Amino acid sequence: MIEQYTIALPPHPRGFHLITDTVRQAISQMPDKGLTHVFIKHTSAGLTVNENADPSVRVDYETIFNKLVPENDPQYIHTFEGPDDMPAHVKSSLVGSSITIPITDGRFNLGTWQGIYLCEFRNHGGSRKLVITVYS
């Protein structure tokens, strides 16, 4: 059986935001076993699974990504939408636009310290749409 849900996340500031509970709550009935696929319908934000306990991880992520893909590089051509736009596209490609999580015993089968992150790479990205597909 396949169930699919589309949700709109409220605007988040630039950074890395745990959305595990939001994704879980969007699923009306979690199967006993299966897979959940989450896809973000945007090119300047991404999704990842990582450390969910220590908030300093989120700060370090922002620091590392800004060093890898800095703003205001004079070689960027796509600059019409602001200095954070082209870097946001590159960062979202590095992180990816989807994740897949196993479901076991009616719950996400994540590790003890894992959570789902919205990676917002724009200063003012606005609402973000997710497509959540559950396979059982």
* pLDDT tens by residue, 12-38: 999 999 999 999 999 999 999 999 999
* pLDDT tens by residue, 72-119: 999 999 998 999 999 999 999 999 999 999 999 999 999 999 999 999
Specify the pTM. 0.96
The parent domain of residue 122 ranges over 2-11+21-135
Quick check: is 86 in a domain?
A: yes
CA atoms within 13 A on the CB side of 103: 19
Q: What is the DSSP string of 3-29?
A: EEEEEEEPP-EEEEEE-HHHHHHH-SS
CATH number at residue 130: 2.60.120.460
Per the structure, the count of domains in the chain is 1
Quick check: is 16 in a domain?
A: no
For the residues 39-67, what does the mean pLDDT come to? 96
